[in-house]
Amino acid sequence: MCVLRVLEPCQSFKMVPGEGRPRLVNAGRKCLCFYYDFIDREFGLMHVRIQSWFPLVIQILLNGHEWLSRKLDAHGIENRKQDNAFLWISDCGRAQKFADRFEKKNWPRVLAAFAKRVNPLLSDVLAGLEYYWVMDQAEYATDVMFNDTDLGF
Average pLDDT rounded to a whole number, residues 122-149: 80
Average pLDDT rounded to a whole number, residues 38-64: 90
Instruction: List the one residue out of 106, 28, 98, 40 whose CA is nearest residue 68.
Output: 98
pTM of the entire predicted model: 0.76
CA distance 97 to 84: 19
pLDDT confidence bin for 151, thresholds 50/70/90? low
With a cut of 80, say whether residue 108 has pLDDT above it.
yes
Instruction: List the one residue out of 63, 105, 101, 70 whose CA is nearest residue 84.
Output: 63
